Amino acid sequence: MEYVLHLLILIALYTLLSQSLNLSTGFTGLISLAHAGFYGIGAYTTAILSTQFGFSFWLGIPLAMLISGAVAYVVSLIALRTVEDYFIICTLGIQIILFSIMNNCMDLTRGPFGIPGIPSIYFFGLSLDSKISFLTLSLSFVAIVWFVLRNISKSGFGKTLIAISEDEIYSQSIGKDVYFCKIVSFTLSAMFAAIPGALYAHYISYIDPTSFTVNESILILSIVIIGGLGNLTGSFLAGAFLILLPEALRFLGMPNSIAANMRQIIYGVILVIVMMTGKNGVRELFSAKTKR
Amino acid sequence: MKYLIASIGLNVVLQNCISLFFGDDTKIINTDEVAVGNQILGAYITTVQLVTIGASLLLFVSVNLFLHSTATGKSIRAVASNPDLCNIFGISSNKIILITFGIGSALAATAGIFSAMDTNMIPTFGFNLLLYGVVAMIIGGVGSTTWLIAGSLLVATAQNLAAYYIDTKWIDAVTYIILILFLSWNPLGFSGKRLKKVEV
């Protein structure tokens, strides 16, 4: 039971991550490989605040979102002056710089030793250290973020973002500030990424830089692309699929070491197929097949 | 753009195939005894590194000759400048793209062999080297073969100066700070596009 709850919590965290990336990648078309970096900023901010300064989770999470958003804002001012492939490589650079900071700033982050002993979350004096209560908390965050992102996508601003992802010159010609909208969507997406970071830090109670590598960014991006750009439900389903896949393989009798590699091989293959057929996510891939 | 994402997917697949078949542990090709190396101008350089320098210069010159004097090389440059016009003139752009991909991968494999002989190898060691290559390529200028040397020299020098004056652990960060500074100075890259337009 604990095991199932653990998987559900992981699914909730990856849903938050992929849906927040979906705001910039899915709606605005800004493919970003820096998401694990912002996830890491969220985790490290709350971890440092709670272990060294005794801040509670509820104060840490808005601060984490603010710091992550501020970093993303500064970064996007530079990165968003480039387009397409250059933008992707720029975000990759940002991811590696953020990882270097987490891995090498010994005074601030304790480098590869990580930060242990992050306290569990208290909610009105009630400790949320059991798995079921933590799951409830993460699910409520998923519900809030999902609701907010749905409303953003339906608002005029969301429609502008979708227009930008389709044609930037046309959006600019009807008087939309493309550069500004891109900055806002990138910053918002990084702010939402700080939420699962903070939850992760308090859930595992120990963080180190290896959770926030380039590979993690690639995994989050694959979830978004496999689930379909701009499709929030798709992100949730793809995230659940990729989390449960190695567990399913393990039940089929595959050893642990091979199951992890198989998961990466499978999502790599799906990623290549989805990108090369030009379909928007796996759902479209299958629906096109059944139509023929 | 879709090729970039697909190639990242391919990278994930290949890297995991390697670690499935050969294991995750560090492997060593160089079976020679560890030697001090040859002293040239006060610096110690191992024989493998000398061979690497020689071989990469040779490959660089031969690729340049190939691109500028053979028919296939000329078609590659033609496809790079205008694929549609090439198709009209009977050069299949898809075929040429496949050939370039093959040549590029072969060159990458040579680089892999030399760096594996120089240090040692784990399934993931290619990714970082590739990223340094991408940075050198962008700084040197996409599509310009001679300036690549300047880009690579700049990146490598900056990395080693950073290792000497700051710390070896900041090499990656310094490389990417150079890239981001370069892109903020010249944000158009070399495609000359500032905004995305729908491809018809």
CA distances from A158 to A58, A155, A165, B61 (A): 28, 5, 11, 51
> Are B92 and B66 in the same domain?
yes
Quickly state the pLDDT bin for A23 (edges 50, 70, 90): confident
DSSP state of B121: B
> Are B76 and B119 in the same domain?
yes
Neighbouring residues of B153: CB distance < 8 A, sequence distance ≥ 6: none
> Are B106 and B31 in the same domain?
yes
> Are B130 and B180 in the same domain?
yes
State how far the Cα of A89 lies from the Cα of A96, in Å rounded to an integer. Answer: 11
C-alpha distance from B130 to closest chain A C-alpha (Å)? 12
Domain assignment present for residue B9? The answer is no
Boundary of a domain, candidates B97, B123, B149: B123
Q: B49 with B158: CB under 8 angstroms?
A: no
> Are B154 and B105 in the same domain?
no
**pLDDT over 60 at A136, yes or no:** yes
Query: What integer is the mean pLDDT of B88-97?
Result: 84
Quickly state the pLDDT bin for B34 (edges 50, 70, 90): low
- B92: which 2 tokens? 């299949």
What's the domain count of chain B? 2
Quickly state the pLDDT bin for B158 (edges 50, 70, 90): confident
Q: Find, among A8, A15, A6, A43, the residue nearest to A238 by Cα.
A: A15
> Are B136 and B108 in the same domain?
no
pLDDT in tens, A174-217: 888 888 888 888 898 988 888 898 888 888 888 888 888 888 88
Domain assignment present for residue B10? The answer is no
Q: Do B170 and A167 touch (CB under 8 A)?
A: no
State how far the Cα of A262 lies from the Cα of A257, in Å rounded to an integer. Answer: 9
pLDDT in tens, B40-57: 777 777 777 888 888 888
Nearest CA in chain A to B181: A78
> Are B128 and B172 in the same domain?
yes
The number of CA neighbours under 13 Å toward the Cβ of B136 is 21
> Are B47 and B95 in the same domain?
yes
Domain assignment present for residue B196? The answer is no
**pLDDT over 50 at A277, yes or no:** yes
C-alpha distance from A224 to closest chain B C-alpha (Å)? 12
Q: Do B195 and A92 touch (CB under 8 A)?
A: no
State how far the Cα of A64 lies from the Cα of A74, in Å rounded to an integer. Answer: 16
Q: Do A271 and B1 touch (CB under 8 A)?
A: no
Quickly state the pLDDT bin for B36 (edges 50, 70, 90): low
> Are B110 and B182 in the same domain?
no
> Are B149 and B184 in the same domain?
yes
Domain assignment present for residue B88? The answer is yes
> How many CB atoms are located within 10 Å of the residue B49 CB?
15
> How many CB atoms are located within 10 Å of the residue B188 CB?
13
> Are B104 and B140 in the same domain?
no
Q: pTM higher than 0.90 for the full model?
A: no
Domain assignment present for residue B48? The answer is yes
- Using CB atoms, pick whichever of B9, B16, B184 lies closest to residue A261: B16
Q: A131 with A2: CB under 8 angstroms?
A: yes
Boundary of a domain, candidates B123, B140, B163: B123
Domain, as residue range, for B68: 22-123
Boundary of a domain, candidates B123, B151, B166: B123
Tell me, what's the pLDDT at A290? 46
Q: Do A222 and B197 touch (CB under 8 A)?
A: no
Tell me which of B2, B171, B177 to substitute to probe the interface with A (most A C-beta atoms closer than 10 Å): B2
The answer to whether residue A130 neighbours chain B at the CB level (below 8 Å) is no
Q: Do B179 and A218 touch (CB under 8 A)?
A: no
Q: Do A269 and B183 touch (CB under 8 A)?
A: no
Q: Do B9 and A168 touch (CB under 8 A)?
A: no
State how far the Cα of B195 lies from the Cα of A170, in Å rounded to an integer. Answer: 10
CA distances from B42 to A218, B37, B38, B39, B117 (A): 44, 11, 10, 6, 23
> Are B35 and B83 in the same domain?
yes
